[in-house]
Structure 1
Amino acid sequence: MSTMPLPAPAWRRFAAIVYDALAVVAIVMVVGLIAQMVTGGHVADDKGHVVAWWYQPLQGVVVGAYFLFSWMRGGQTLGMRPWKIRVVARDGGAVDLKRGLIRLVVAGLPVLLLMLYSVTSLRVALLAPLAGWAVILLPSLFDARRRGLHDMAAGTEIR
């Protein structure tokens, strides 16, 4: 009999994703407010097109930092805390910077699909990352430790 803790069930992971989506929206709004205050309201033009070249990369860095620091400091994001799940290294230890960065980059790859908006419709550009995350999470349905591709690549799991 194995003494290794069981991986978190899918429904708790999904609930944490929903909570974290709300946290990410709040983070993006706060960064947007600060950017608007710093630029005197000139982050976007009158039509809503972003004109500050640094704005979207800044949003990505801040959101990425939220996840990275949460995983490295206690293994939990705000969305994971109520569901009592955490990201750990394969051996059960804390997630280090290298594992956290690998997990972040692989999990974040579908965000790049938003760039499809320049060659397709907004609907396709918004659905493409969702499809990408489905691909990343698909192995968790079949893996004994319920790991997605990002966890396999980083040597982490959710318990």
Structure 2
Amino acid sequence: MTQTTTTNLYCPLWRRLSALFYDLFAVLAIVATVGLACQLATHGQLITTGAQVHIAWWYQPLQGLAVAAYFLVSWLRGGQTLGMRPWRIRIATSNGTRLTLWQALLRLLVAALPLSLLLLAPAFGLRTALWSVAAAWGVWFAAALLDRRRRTLHDLAAGSEVRRMG
């Protein structure tokens, strides 16, 4: 019989990224569903074209809120998103309890912070802005390679950690 230590229960980065890849499909489904509902609600006038393309001012914030709600509800209800379930990993506090609403919100805001680099697009172009976001997320997740408990920057900020179950 092998003895399980707390060290081997911390989730390795590759497993977290695999779960995040699975979550990408859930996020795409949410975005598509919200987009369809908005198109139907506006009778196809959500995006108008002419001399310039115009998107309703409220559409992108609504999409962001829908995606944020997916992560918040998942973390608060069971500590797992859909992508985390097959990889048998769960988010909890350092003492193993569920995240509080404040911790989940803080974790979400810090994890989404690199998206603010998209504001660079008008000045530097979309390609540069997207690479900046990718590089920032690389730094966010690279912290897990240096931390003994495999915590990312958003975990460190929120006092959370991702552990393997069982």
Q: TM-score, normalised by structure 1?
A: 0.93
Q: Which runs of 5+ in 2 are unaligned?
A: none
* 1:154/1:46 CA distance change after superposition, 3 Å: same
Question: Do residues 22 (structure 1) and 52 (structure 2) align?
Answer: no
Give the alignment partner of residue 55 of structure 2, picking from 45, 51, 56: 51
Structure 2 equivalent of residue 85 of structure 1:
89
Give the corresponding residue for 2:136: 132
Q: Provide Cα deviations, 1:47-85, integer angstroms capped at 9, x if missing partner.
A: 683421100110111100100110001100011011000
Please report how far the alpha carbon of residue 86 of structure 1 lies from its aligned counterpart in structure 2 after TM superposition. Answer: 0.8
Q: 1:108 aligns with which of 99, 112, 120?
A: 112
Quickly say closer, same or farther: Cα 1:141–1:84, change in 2 above 3 A.
same
Shift, 1:46, TM fit: 2.1
2:55 counterpart SS class: coil
Give the number of the structure whose alpha-carbon radius of gyration is greater: 2
Whose strand fraction is larger, Structure 1's or Structure 2's? 2
Q: Which residue of 2 aligns with 1:35?
A: 38
Which structure's relative contact order is higher, taking Cα pairs within 8 Å and 6+ residues apart?
2
2:79 to 63, 75, 79: 75
Evaluate the alpha carbon distance shift between residue 2 and residue 22 of structure 1 in structure 2; reply closer, same or farther with a 3 A threshold. closer
TM-score with structure 2 setting the length:
0.89
Q: Distance in 1 between matches of 2:37 and 2:118?
A: 23
Q: Distance in 2 between matches of 1:24 and 1:126?
A: 18
Task: Determine helix, strand or coil for the equivalent of 1:86.
Answer: strand
Deviations 1:118-152 (A, max 9, x none): 22222112222111111111211010000011000
Amino acid of the structure 2 residue aligned with 1:115: L
